[in-house]
Amino acid sequence: TDVNAVSNDNCAIDTTYLAQTNFTCADLGINSVLVFTRDASGNLDSIAINIEVLDTIAPVIIACPENIDACESLVEYDLPEAIDNCALFETTLTKGLESGSSFELGTTEIQYAFSDSSGNVSYCNFSVTVNSLPALEVTGDTTISSGESIELSAVSDAEVIFDWTPSNYLDDPTISNPISTPVESITYTVFATSDKGCVQQDSVRITVEETLREITIYNAFSPNNDGKNDFLEILGLEFYSESKVLIVNRYGAKVFESEGYDNPWDGTYNGNDLPIGPYFYFIETGVEGAETLTGEISLIR
């Protein structure tokens, strides 16, 4: 429609038209195109003119990464993508670092340019920000006695969320200074997560030493169902979960045996009352290296 072809005829022009009106990327540059003119009687004339086809459409970006927050210096990102009406274009990193590079702390601007052969250019811009890991200082390894509590401590230089694991024996695993009352030696790991999602971690070992508790054994009891001294009392043995108790008569025959002492001896054997007299006990606390406790008790009625 931009072609202004001037023609004349003795009997007037019927129509003027181009031999080619649609052009593609294959026609870029100078094209020699015939212009025809025809009168009402069908007489034709033509002339060749030059039509220059230009590509003024820049590549269209179909994928450009969002700004990236990272916690490690080594950062990989998806490469941007584009399409072009003439298919042929170049992709060039014009600013920043390639994916998989080691980035410095802070923000690095990234730019990719998509340029076609006609000089049309589109740009993809985004940034990579490497955030520092939060500093973390944790309580040193500690030894405590069984039954004791200890306050753990984690200190960071940033606003972080704490998470102690495992949560066993802790009053609150989500605070910086939980109280631990362990019954066994345990290693805690604390994770400190910043508002950027960066995680720092450290561990602390709490060693629990078994404290020997005094065991008191009464040397006589009277199992006569009067509500007084009906059972052999062994005070302190409840603190030894792996203890064993053996009681024999004067002839060495076993009359009572138990692991732990949840059900104290009532002076019977197989449901029958045993005679009064001396009996002998052997108590193992279950503590490695501890001696077996032995002694005599009197059964009276």
* pLDDT tens, residue by residue, 120-178: 999 999 999 999 999 999 989 999 987 789 999 999 988 999 999 999 999 999 999 99
DSSP class of residue 170? B
Q: Is the pLDDT of residue 3 over 90?
A: no
pLDDT band at 45 (very low <50, low <70, confident <90, very high): very high
Q: Supply 268's token pair.
A: 């019977």
Residue with tokens 């060039």: 92
Q: Which residues pair with 200 in a beta bridge?
A: 192
- Average pLDDT (260-279) is 93
**Residues near 253 by Cβ (< 8 Å), separated by ≥ 6?**
none
Alpha-carbon distance values, 220 to 228, 230, 233, 269, 278 (Å): 12, 10, 9, 17, 9
Q: Are 140 and 204 in contact (CB under 8 A)?
A: yes
- Average pLDDT (182-197) is 93
pLDDT of residue 279: 96
- Helices and strands, counts by H and E, the chain: 0, 28
User: How far is it, in rounded angstroms, from Cα 245 to Cα 234?
Assistant: 10
- Average pLDDT (18-26) is 92
pLDDT averaged over every residue in the chain: 92
- Average pLDDT (270-299) is 92
pLDDT of residue 266: 94
pLDDT of residue 277: 94
CA angle, 293 then 212 then 287, to 5° = 65
Q: Is the pLDDT of residue 6 over 90?
A: no
pLDDT of residue 1: 66
pLDDT of residue 286: 86
Q: Is the pLDDT of residue 79 over 90?
A: yes
Q: Is the pLDDT of residue 244 over 70?
A: yes
Q: What is the pTM of this model?
A: 0.59
Query: What is the percentage of the chain residues whose pLDDT exceeds 70?
Result: 99
- Average pLDDT (106-122) is 96
Q: Is the pLDDT of residue 184 over 90?
A: no
Range in 2-6, 243-247, 249-253 the model is least confident about:
2-6
Specify which of 204-213, 244-253, 286-295 reaches the highest per-range mean pLDDT: 244-253
User: How far is it, in rounded angstroms, from Cα 230 to Cα 241?
Assistant: 23
pLDDT of residue 248: 96
